[in-house]
A and B are shown apart, each in its own frame.
Chain A
């Protein structure tokens, strides 16, 4: 059992060192001088540090272990991409149609207005010629 009362010459307890070890084992955190002195003098904390190093070494080794997925992952991925692509194309198409529909209405309205203006001008011209 870890003694929380153990003070080295540094005044740091094993419990305080235990809190610091997971961070300093790979240099993530910097151990302050008191912690360094404690670990240098405390076999229990040294042993714990060795355990952390072994743990990290083993975790790193897991990187080389690869699990093979059940067959079919690649086709599934490609099918999902294709389906998503089709959905997107459909969306573009629909939004394109909406744009075309609105543009058509706008063009028809503009043409109607232009026609009305031209007809009105022609009427004016005929009235002027007649008079």
Chain B
């Protein structure tokens, strides 16, 4: 880290190699597609390299990178959503089109993870970002709000809305199942 901070690009390359899969995964979870994820990861590392001297080391490098990645993904999604108005809405109903919606049939943890991953992908980006950053990557509300350019209370409201949508999708009641048909 010290060498990378001193401008050693080989040392920085090592940091990139050690974290690329993790950062790419976060970028993928935030953007929902491989192409954007790659662009976001690349931009995040570039920004990190430029501001490496500001990294004080009081957080882990990966946590610092999560914040930068979240910020880059937010920028990317804002850019993409211009002209695609529906993506900004967080009130879309998520409809599970898979036939096996019964919670009893998805008892296995692996199956549940697949369902959650799929449901996450179907969330509107502004809700997906907060739930991924908070519930998957454990970032504090303050950091999430700061990187997404929203207030802390807005971040919390979005988080709760996202959790509710995910729960309704994964464990639909009779009424929600009927609505999905």
Residues of A within 8 A of B (CB): 1-2, 18, 22-23, 25, 28, 48, 51-52, 54-56, 58-63, 65-70, 73-74, 76-78, 80-82, 84
Return the 5 tightest CB-CB contacts between A and B, nearest first: A22-B160, A59-B135, A69-B24, A22-B163, A1-B175
Residues in chain B near residue A77, CB distance under 8 A: 16, 20, 41-42, 45-46
A74 contacts B135, CB within 8 Å?
no
Report the bound CA distance from A77 to B47 in whole Å: 11
Size category of the binding interface on chain B: 35 or more
Are B163 and A69 closer than 8 Å at their CB atoms?
no
Residue of chain A at shortest CB distance from B117: A62
Instruction: Give Cα A22 to B38, complex, Å.
Output: 32
CB distance from B163 to the nearest CB of A (A): 4
Q: A1-B174, A28-B156, A51-B170 are in contact. Are A68 and B13 (CB under 8 A)?
A: no
A58-B109, A73-B20, A74-B16 are known contacts; what are 18 more A-B pairs with Cβ within 8 Å? A1-B173, A23-B160, A28-B160, A55-B166, A55-B170, A58-B112, A65-B113, A65-B117, A68-B24, A69-B20, A69-B24, A69-B38, A70-B38, A73-B42, A77-B41, A80-B46, A81-B12, A84-B50
Determine whether B148 belongs to the interface, using a CB cutoff of 8 Å to chain A: no
Closest to B14 in A: A74
Q: How far is the CA of A25 from the CA of B175 in the complex (A)?
A: 23
The winner among B24, B29, B34, B163 for most chain A CB atoms within 10 A is B163
